[in-house]
Amino acid sequence: MKILIKKGRVIDPKNNTDDILDIYINGAVIEKIGKNIKEKGDEDAIINASGHIVAPGFIDIHTHLREPGYEYKETIKTGTLAAAKGGFTSVVCMANTDPVNDNKSVTEFILKKARMEGSCRVFPCGAITKGLKGEELSEIGEMFDAGIVAISDDGKTVKHSGLLRKALEYSKIFNIPVISHCEDTDLSQGFVNEGMASLLSGLDAVPSIAEELIVQRDIMIAEYVKAYIHLTHISTAGSVEIVALTKKRYSNISCDTCPHYFTLTEEATLNFDTNTKVNPPLRSEKDVEVIKEGLKNGTIDIISTDHAPHDLTSKDVEFNLASSGISGLETALGLSLKLVHDGVLSLSELIKKFTVNPARLLKLPYGELGEGKTADLIVFNPDMEWIVDKNLFLSKGKNTPFHGWRLKGKNLLTIVDGRIVYREGTI
């Protein structure tokens, strides 16, 4: 297919591009980028992007697609549809499926299903330990040969320090990152942040130190064995400060946070809406401000979604019994653009946290626009206002605390490998 995108504001942080340009796509490749390109697109494939942003397709390093095993919550088909709608052309799916992705067979199943039914690229993340039990290392080498791009026991911390050390040493052999879920489970027996939320609600509390202790431990082990460590969905001021200090002396470290950690505070849990129950929990106003500052000064490298879709019955229960997580792929861009509107980040800085930095972490040849590069890109309008309606989500997961919110900024077009996989009616 031949696609011509005309007169969009092309922002590509990797190549320091920010200009009004045309992009001509021939098949799966960007053939030309420039002004007043004369080539023709196929019928219905000439896109007027005037007034819109053209950017590399976003990469989400932390997604739960639920398949195999929890197809009633999400499937690879519905999850990637949601991703494409949200502006993501690549997603990394976590290993907490059933069976757990701790072996070659499950990895191959995910990749095969993604090739058959996926609307965007899917990169599996393998489990660090068999069955996520924290007792024995998974077959990391076999999973790497099958196609994993990282290892993580996300949803759980590798409690055994010696086992984590071995995993980090293996990760050096295969040159893939360990993505660490930082939670001291002996301290985090609650459901909301320890502070105002737990005091007023009476719900059992999760102190910030439960995250910060493991952040510090995992960094120390990684530094000791000289391995790369990525800390996912960090939520506390203390975690940001630990990472900032570490980066001054150790370069093989990165971290991400999620839109709900710079958009909501623990106050949102006080009405007992189970859609605000996440792990780690929503934190204090101070934590939110430090998370924003960490995004601004580069301490936090990546914005991920931690897309965690659930069926209604998993959320329509008492707060302490509800499953944790937010269906986040379709609201991530709109929520994150508030950082731009509020002057926290420039558009280029925001796009970099969704593209260049995750591509660098996972060593993927995506996240940039250039002649001869793969045609993965999006067109979005940063000023278009829209109302979040969970009933219009393409994800099976309707669990969002943002239903009814008015957001400013919306994705309108997603192209993966030269194919239009999502198109809003207004473009």
Question: Active-site residues: which are they?
Answer: 306
How many other CB atoms are found less than 10 A from the CB of residue 161?
A: 12
Structure tokens at 77: 């088909």
Judged on CB neighbours under 10 Å (0-12, 13-18, 19+), 362 is buried
Question: Tokens in use for 224?
Answer: 């000791």
Whether the bond between 56 and the residue before it is cis, its omega within 30 degrees of 0, is no
E strand map for 277-326: 302-303
Distant-in-sequence, close-in-space partners of 296: CB < 8 Å, separation ≥ 6:
344, 345
Tokens representing 344 are 């926290």
Cis omega (within 30 of 0) for bond into 13: no
Largest CA distance in the chain: 66
How far apart CA 134 and CA 158 sit, in angstroms, is 5
Distance of alpha carbon 289 from alpha carbon 295, whole angstroms: 10
